[in-house]
Chains A and B, each alone.
Chain A
Amino acid sequence: QTVVTQEPSFSVSPGGTVTLTCGLSSGSVSTSYYPSWYQQTPGQAPRTLIYSTNTRSSGVPDRFSGSILGNKAALTITGAQADDESDYYCVLYMGSLWVFGGGTKLTVL
């Protein structure tokens, strides 16, 4: 069974830069998995941030960027702000199913 891995939690200072990653329990993440990233605050529906590795969704600030770093997909937030404090989920498309990572809880303090 394929497991998509994310850091359970991360902390960043206001104005700082943080990189969250999305890996596979076995193998490497590549662009062919169409990695995408979603932001969710408590009680709210997810919001689409990045899709197909590095394309920002409409209205998403350019401080959010996506890439492949080594064997993982990555979400980088440059110049973190207080309202970036959220849960972040990646999802990989695997042909006939989609698999979410467990999510990363980002704290900005």
Chain B
Amino acid sequence: QVQLVESGGGVVQPGGSLRLSCAASGFTFSSYGMHWVRQAPGKGLEWVAFIRYDGSNKYYADSVKGRFTISRDNSKNTLYLQMNSLRAEDTAVYYCAKDRYYYDSSGYYRYFDYWGQGTLVTVSS
């Protein structure tokens, strides 16, 4: 079965850096795009970043552009999120999610089909 396991969260000071990892199993990792989605305490979900299956395209939310970098190592079935210049407002549970994009005779489909359990990042002095 599909498993996504995040790690790397913790407490970091404002202005600091952290790298999150998401270990994937149960599917052909190198064939699917992947996302990071976060959720601040008591708040809603916020999409953070997407990387294409081969790493050739990356997209970011405006709130993290220039500070966060999404990457992947298909040989290790692992997704990463490098977070620099962290701010208090980056405090959140960070989820990795698998992208599903396909088409059939009825049309095109696109959604997040599997989610990890999340890892908590706390930015505080």
Q: Is the CB of A52 within 8 A of B110?
A: yes
The listed residue (A1, A98, A101) touching B35 by CB distance below 8 A is: A98
How far, in Å, is B110 (CB) from chain A's closest CB? Answer: 4
**A33-87 interface with B by 8 A CB criterion:** 34, 36, 38, 40, 45-48, 51-52, 55, 57, 87
Contact count band on A: 20 to 34
**Interface magnitude class on chain B:** 20 to 34
When each residue 82-109 of chain A gets 1 if its CB lies under 8 Å from chain B and 0 otherwise, what string results? 0000010101010011111111000000
CA distance A96 to B57 in the complex (A): 10
Bound: A102/B50 CA distance, A: 20
Interface string of B77-108 (1 = CB under 8 A from A): 00000000000000000010000100000011
Interface set of A (CB-CB < 8 Å, partner B): 1, 31, 34, 36, 38, 40, 45-48, 51-52, 55, 57, 87, 89, 91, 93, 96-103
Find the B residue at minimum CB distance from A47. Answer: B115
Specify which of A34, A48, A57, A99 is in contact with B47 (CB 8 Å cutoff).
A99
Query: Do A52 and B95 touch across chains, with their CB atoms under 8 A apart?
Result: no
Residues of chain B with a CB closer than 8 A to A100's CB: 37, 44-47
Complex Cα distance, B107 from A45, in Å, reads: 28
* Nearest chain A CB to B42 CB, angstrom units: 10
